[in-house]
Every structure is written in C-alpha cells, then in structure tokens.
Amino acid sequence: MAMGLLFDAVKCIGCEACASACKEQNHLPGPVEEHTTAYTWTTVKSKEGVFSRTLCMHCEVPTCASVCPVGALKKTPEGPVVYDAKKCMGCRYCMMACPFDVPKYQWDRPVPIIGKCILCESKVKKGEPTACASVCPAEATIFGKREDLIKEARSRIEQHPGEYQDHIYGLTEAGGTAVLMLSSVPFGKLGLKENLPSEPPALRTWQVLSNIPDFVALWALFLYGIHWITARRSDVAKAEGSK
C-alpha cells in the first residue's frame, strides 16, 4: 500500500521542527538552509501570510527515475522515491527532468552525489511515520496511506470551505504525488507550479525512447560507457577516502 504525506499550510505554525527532524534522521550536516540543497531536504518559509513546505513530492510515476540511465533513482512499493549514490554517475539528468526542481547536487564535493528527501524510506518500510510527521505539533504534516490522506484533505476542505483552496495539490499534478498539499492561498503563490500536466512526464520519456530505431544496440553501448564512468568514479572516491 502506497504511503505519503499531507501538508496543510493552514495548520502550519512555522516552527521548522520538520526540517530539523529531517536533518537528524538523515544525518545531514549544518543548519537548516533557506532553500533546499543537497544538505537540506525540506524547508519551511512564510509566503502570502502562510507557511509553506518544500520537499520531494515523490511522484507516483517519477520522471527522475525514468531518465536515470543507471537506475540510481527508483520508486519503492511503499511510496518513497529513493536514491542510490553507489549507482549514480553524476549526469544530473534527474535535476533537469524533475517537474518540481527537487534533486540537488553536492557542488562542493570532489565526488558529489545528489541529495533529496527520501521520505524516510527505512521508517516507512517498517510502517513507521516519517520523522517530519512525527514531530509536527500542529498536525500540519501527517503521514498515512495516500488514499486516506486524500479523504482527510477533502474532509478538511468540506468542513472549512472558507479557509482552503478547493484543490488538493499533488492529487493529479505530474500524474499524482505521494506528498499532498492544502493551502488557503493559490498554490502558485507558495512557489508551486500550477501548469503541470495530469499525465506523468515520465510517459513522454518512454514514448520517445520506444520510437528510436535500433535503440537496444545503442543503449548497450551507452551502458558500457556508463559502466566505465561509474567504475572510475568509484575508484576516485576510494582514492579520496584513503588520503
């Protein structure tokens, strides 16, 4: 059963406990930065008189995974879109393809990797709530089955029609996401994209690839090259670690 988060901007008090808990859970260095980076995976900012969270939306059909040539990104059955740094070749295609501009690169490292929210995969796999949901004192971020979160979101809108926009962000955007959002102001004013298609962008990737002649042979050659690059990258990482 796919799990997810519901973030309610109406209830959020801006305490940033979620951002701090994310840092602790994922052993991320430094203070919470103003914007999401490879070391800060979620932020809380005041916009239009309400507080808004930024984090990976964990698409139902993730475009980042569809463009990754080495399978470093994948969607798990439980809902999180996770990242395997050992497989990553550093091409940054995921950064360019993500409809929400989420993945961030460690530009300051000699052997950089991508950083983004992984929806506390290890906790979710055990049936536990994410770190951010566990510490939220106002139930602005809650964890649960996606279908139950949709019901809860609709209930909040119906019970308080004057307080909420009549829309659940993430219900259909980019094919749907595991992270859903509610707001009292238009989502565009929170910095969220409002012109996203309801069809997963990843489908376009697969449609293009399926129409390329002799793609299998070309792909085999491409993967061989990537294998060499990845192996070389691993050797460099080991050399850096031995210094």
Residues 164-220 pLDDT 10s: 999 999 999 999 999 999 999 999 999 999 999 999 987 765 555 455 455 544 555
**With pLDDT > 90 as the criterion, what percentage of the chain qualifies?**
79
pLDDT of residue 61: 96
> Could you give the CA distance from residue 76 to residue 23 in angstroms, rounded to a whole number?
22
Mention every residue, 6+ apart, whose C-beta is less than 8 A from residue 218. Answer: 212
Residue boundaries of the structural domains of the chain: 3-203, 212-242
241, pLDDT greater than 80: no
- 223 pLDDT band, cuts 50/70/90, is low
Closest by Cα among 157, 192, 119, 140 to 14: 140
List, edge to edge, every strand of the sheet that includes 179-182. Answer: 141-145, 3-8, 179-182
Sign of the Cα pseudo-torsion (125, 129, 135, 141, in order): positive
* pLDDT tens, position by position, 118-169: 999 999 999 999 999 999 999 999 999 999 999 999 999 999 989 999 999 9
Instruction: Return the CATH architecture of domain 3-203.
Output: 2-Layer Sandwich (3.30)
pLDDT of residue 201: 87
Provide the mean pLDDT of the chain: 89
